[in-house]
A and B are shown apart, each in its own frame.
Chain A
Amino acid sequence: MTSHSVDAGASRYEPTTFKVKDKKLGMWIFLASEVMFFTGLIGSYIILRWGAATPWPVPGEVLNVPITAGNTFLLICSSVTMVKAFAAIEDGNQKMLKVWLLATAIIGACFVGVQAYEYTELVHHGFLPSSGLYGSTFFTMTGFHGFHVTVGVLCLLWVAIKAFRGGYTQADHQGVEIIGLYWHFVDLVWIILFTIVYLI
């Protein structure tokens, strides 16, 4: 069957598909749900913090802000490398696609590593999830973000392996675009979390 024999009667109608492809649309829908998930956590944090009976620790009192500021910069850089990877395959540049994908995954892994270091230091100083509301909210929010970054790194490695096998072409590289959407989302969430948890 050939695709140019579309029924004339049908083509008069408005299109019944959306111009965004299934997988990309699916990712956008998934991200809408993720927005609600983090809204639940962040909203609870706002209620608990500004409704707290005891004063909240001032920024820098418990947490090491400079290290995390560096880590934040790292994560923002990984968004840049992600954009670079996408731009490379848009140009059909297979070599730079692999380079930038790997760079993104490595920087993402570094972010998780620094966060793990931060956690061990905090636990070492006796700051735990059971350390009142401050500990509860801090570990839950940053922990779930860290979990999302970890999943992102694993997916990036998956995409990178596919790239090394030549799985993406200039014409068809949906996988790179979709992991990019997720990665930028996780990055954006971190910028909000860093601001409200560490800076304010």
Chain B
Amino acid sequence: MATMASEPTGIPVRVEEHPQSFIRKYIFSTDHKVIGIQFLFTCLFFLLIGGLLAVMLRFQLGFPGAALPGGDLLPDTMAPDGIILPEFYNSLVTMHGTFMVFFAIMPLLVGVYANYLIPVQIGTHDMAFPRLNMISYWMFLVSGLVMLSSFWVIGGASAAGWTQYAPLSASPEASGVSTGQILWILSIAIFGFSSLLGSINYITTVINQRAPGMTWFRLPLVIWALFITAILGLLAIPVLTAALIMLLFDQTLGTTFFLPTEGGQPLLWQHLFWFFGHPEVYILILPAMGFVSEIISNGSRKPIFGYKSMVFAIIAIAFLGFIVWGHHMFQSGMNPALGMSFMISTLIIAVPSAIKVFNWMGTIWGGSIRFHTPMLFAVGFVMLFAIGGFSGIFMASSPVDIYIHDTYFIVAHIHYVLFGGSLFAIYGAIYYWFPKMFGRLINETAGRIHFFLTFVLFNLVFFPMHGLGMEGMMRRIYDPSQYEHLADIQDTNTLITWAAIGLFISGLYFGVLFFWSLFRGKPAPDNPWEATTMEWTLPSPPQHGNWKELPTVYHGPFEYSHPDVEKDWLSQNERPDVVSPAHH
């Protein structure tokens, strides 16, 4: 840290030393870093659950009617003699989607990294409302456990799909699930409240707590992405909460909002759900794009190409995200003219998305690339996200969508953007920030093996699904072999299942690597990646309160290969006049 010269700003420090008990320090902590790490462990657990459910439902599709290995452990209401029941299969599909979207990907992106990164990257001691932050985590944990518990109630877990279409979700007679369904609604309502508290915190902190000199256009792109994501969550999730309350009353108080027999409108549910659901899609991808921007700039040793266009693309995607929800409903019998306008607004999103992809390529172009594990995942993200983006254009075009609607084509698409996109970026982010969070390094070779396994197996699982969809294999189907037109693609389904089992094992391998590195990894230096954002000028891991005195920011976030300095990076809070010049 010889060249580090963060100047004291003279701003009074409000953090006092906290000689605290174990419980206040690690359990009911208000420290944003501890909360971020709590989210990380909890989400990895839920990611495991979601993966396990995926393997189970994949087993049924690959080997219809065969006994699930270890299925004897499941009660007879789920899998008698280890053979998965159709009702239980519906619960598996529903809960796989629910756990992955709400309890794994979304909080991994936002709960973990908004909490951990915002204060250390913008240069402040903690979040604006540390106590709300703590409550936000604990409500999240409660909502996840409520959701998990619904497997063990009478009737089993919700079976209405993660989109909870009414009237399946609105009446116990429709899906055969009543208690589990109510628990689903309550869990997501609690989750929404947790997310609201988080959003208020992130937005206020970014607006009000930036260090001196950290102007809006010096914010690292990951902060921009998390900031805009928080606004999306703030405005979209309450609409879901309102819809959930109506659904809950339909289930419990005898109201008839979504029950067509009593004058209610099931289509209203779809509109409300997707008014939330489409911004949700961007909640699930924008932070991932932020991580990837950081990592690609670092791995290419070049400033990000087109910083401002990146920022405006994030804002444009977020704005457009609110006016495209109807593209999920082309098949609902909507007015074709309305469908057309939703189609056009959806296709326009391809523009800011393409701007981002081209900017990443422009950043890599001509860089002296370091293919460290995070960089591999970031480049993998760009490739897979591009494929997911192209298949998205098929579905955005309503004439094509009518053919592929609710088939495995859409399953392929969503996994290319959510797994190939979001989860690859999350893996990259975990590798990238692991040294800072835990003060230890993950072995590079072991990390690269994880990347190649995941990349190959991912494509083996999901690429053939495009074909399955074109062949007419319906989404959420229990047994494809019972349909004549799907009988000859059973081999593909079996192949996918084997690859999915391999993908799950590569996930377990990552888990082992993660925990092994946590205890046995080599101690990490402060700045192992030679990165420019300010968290890397702190010790690994940073102490409580992050800074003794707030830093002053002098540069933009991506000052790599600056011509005036000898080393090829410049921290945001490094004073220009103390940096040794290159050729003078």
Hey, which bits of chain A sit against chain B, CB under 8 A? 1-7, 9-11, 13-14, 16-18, 20-22, 25-26, 29-30, 32-34, 36-41, 44, 47-48, 51-54, 128-130, 132-133, 135-137, 139-140, 144
User: CB < 8 Å: which of B129, B234, B272 contacts A40?
Assistant: B272
B9 and A7 contacting across the interface, CB-CB below 8 Å: yes
Kindly state whether residue B16 has any CB partner on chain A within 8 Å. Answer: no
B200 and A26 contacting across the interface, CB-CB below 8 Å: yes
B239 and A36 contacting across the interface, CB-CB below 8 Å: yes
Hey, which bits of chain B sit against chain A, CB under 8 A? 7-13, 128-129, 196, 199-201, 203-204, 207-215, 234-243, 245-246, 249, 253-257, 262-265, 268, 271-272, 275, 549, 552-554, 575
User: CB < 8 Å: which of B201, B214, B255, B575 contacts A140?
Assistant: B255
Bound CA span A36–B212, Å: 34
B238 and A136 contacting across the interface, CB-CB below 8 Å: no
CB distance from A21 to the nearest CB of B (A): 8
Residues of A within 8 A of B11 (CB): 3, 6
Q: Which residue of B lies closest to A5 (CB)?
A: B10
B10 and A130 contacting across the interface, CB-CB below 8 Å: no
Apart from A3-B12, A130-B254, A144-B245, 6 more pairs, CB < 8 Å? A13-B212, A33-B237, A40-B241, A44-B246, A47-B271, A139-B253
Residues of A within 8 A of B201 (CB): 26
B257 and A44 contacting across the interface, CB-CB below 8 Å: yes
Residues of B within 8 A of A48 (CB): 257, 264-265, 268
Bound CA span A113–B257, Å: 27
Interchain residue pairs with CB less than 8 A apart (15) = A7-B8, A9-B7, A10-B552, A11-B212, A18-B208, A25-B208, A36-B234, A38-B242, A40-B275, A44-B242, A48-B268, A129-B254, A136-B255, A140-B245, A144-B245
A22 and B236 contacting across the interface, CB-CB below 8 Å: no
B213 and A10 contacting across the interface, CB-CB below 8 Å: yes
Q: Which residue of A lies closest to B202 (CB)?
A: A29
Residues of B within 8 A of A5 (CB): 8, 10
Bound CA span A53–B261, Å: 11
Given A22-B208, A26-B129, do A16 and B215 touch, yes or no (CB 8 Å)? yes
Q: Which of A33, A37, A51, A132: most chain B CB closer than 10 A?
A: A33
CB distance from B218 to the nearest CB of A (A): 9
CB distance from B233 to the nearest CB of A (A): 9
B254 and A22 contacting across the interface, CB-CB below 8 Å: no
B262 and A47 contacting across the interface, CB-CB below 8 Å: no
B204 and A33 contacting across the interface, CB-CB below 8 Å: no
Given A9-B554, A26-B129, A36-B236, do A136 and B211 touch, yes or no (CB 8 Å)? no
A13 and B238 contacting across the interface, CB-CB below 8 Å: no
A22 and B257 contacting across the interface, CB-CB below 8 Å: no
What are the nearest 3 A-B pairs in CB distance?
A40-B242, A130-B254, A136-B255
Given A7-B10, A29-B199, do A44 and B268 touch, yes or no (CB 8 Å)? yes
A1 and B13 contacting across the interface, CB-CB below 8 Å: yes
Q: Which residue of B lies closest to A25 (CB)?
A: B204
Residues of A within 8 A of B214 (CB): 16
Given A13-B215, A30-B200, do A22 and B10 touch, yes or no (CB 8 Å)? no
Residues of B within 8 A of A144 (CB): 245
Q: Which residue of B lies closest to A4 (CB)?
A: B10
B196 and A33 contacting across the interface, CB-CB below 8 Å: yes
CB distance from A126 to the nearest CB of B (A): 13
Bound CA span A48–B240, Å: 17
Residues of B within 8 A of A9 (CB): 7, 213, 552, 554, 575
Residues of B within 8 A of A20 (CB): 208
A136 and B552 contacting across the interface, CB-CB below 8 Å: no
Given A36-B236, A128-B254, do A26 and B128 touch, yes or no (CB 8 Å)? yes
Bound CA span A11–B552, Å: 10
Given A9-B552, A18-B208, A22-B128, do A33 and B249 touch, yes or no (CB 8 Å)? no
Q: Which residue of B lies closest to A11 (CB)?
A: B212
B234 and A10 contacting across the interface, CB-CB below 8 Å: no
Bound CA span A32–B201, Å: 14
Residues of A within 8 A of B241 (CB): 37, 40
Q: Which residue of B lies closest to A17 (CB)?
A: B208
Given A48-B264, A136-B255, do A37 and B554 touch, yes or no (CB 8 Å)? no
Q: Which residue of A lies closest to B254 (CB)?
A: A130
User: CB < 8 Å: which of B12, B209, B239 contacts A1?
Assistant: B12
CB distance from B68 to the nearest CB of A (A): 40
Bound CA span A53–B246, Å: 20
